[in-house]
Amino acid sequence: MTRTQILSALIAAAPLAGCAMPAPQSAPPSAAAPQEAFWQALSSHCGKAYAGGLASTDARDADWAGKRMVAHWAACDEARVAIAFHVADPEAPAGWNRSRTWIVTREGKGAATRFTLKHDHRHADGEADAVTFYGGASPDAGSAGAHDFPVDGESVALFTREGLDASLTNVWRVEVDPAAQANARFVYQLTRRNDPTRLFRVEFDASTPIAAPPAAWGW
């Protein structure tokens, strides 16, 4: 082969060599949206119950101090998680107030996902309390471990009707760690936009399940 023929062969092969280069690796999948991570963490506790207690020191909650409390994931599906909140009370039937259930509902998909928090209050006979199913909706994407729920218009109307003016600026907060996480916690919190001193906060050890309690009243 002549020198000219060798050069021609090398030039012709150059584009083929470029095509043979390995394709760049695809970027790693993006992390789950905070809403999805929050929902997965909340749902990871389905069917379990945890012991907890009052973590705040507001004098307005003195009657709650020192009382045993249990959070029980009583019902779960793809769009709703119901958590019964049991509080030891010597004056309640069988020594426990089982009147409260927190209901978190999921709506939308992906980055548009939002959550609502509602409070289901019942009497011991299962009948609804006059003040029930109040709460709010998450205004933004929140985080993987926490979402805030400012009071909604329906609840404002309910509180106004029942003379509960102090509750008109309520903001509830739910914090949750995945069940598999070491030292996992679950937190329910109440603050008020017009009162920076108001703080009601209960915390549960979500790393150590306990025996499930009886069903909440009316459930």
The whole domain housing 41 covers 34-205
| Position 44 in a domain | yes
Element (H, E) at 40: helix 34-43
Q: Mean per-residue pLDDT for 189-195?
A: 97
For the chain, the domain total comes to 1
| Position 69 in a domain | yes
| Position 135 in a domain | yes
**Best CA proximity match to 69, nearest among 172, 201, 171, 175:** 201
Q: Mean per-residue pLDDT for 193-197?
A: 96
At 22 the three-state DSSP class reads coil
pLDDT (tens digit, 9 = 90+) per residue, 39-91? Answer: 999 999 999 999 999 999 999 999 999 999 999 999 999 999 999 999 999 99
CATH of residue 157 = 2.40.128
Q: Mean per-residue pLDDT for 157-184?
A: 98
| Position 54 in a domain | yes
| Position 129 in a domain | yes
Residue 19, pLDDT > 90, answer no
| Position 28 in a domain | no
pLDDT (tens digit, 9 = 90+) per residue, 90-146? Answer: 999 999 999 999 999 999 998 999 999 999 999 999 999 999 999 999 999 999 999
Q: CA 177 → CA 101, 125, 133, 134, 204, distances in Å?
A: 20, 34, 25, 25, 11
For 31, how many CA atoms within 13 A lie in the half-sphere containing its CB? Answer: 7
Place of tokens 């379990």: 48
| Position 215 in a domain | no
| Position 20 in a domain | no
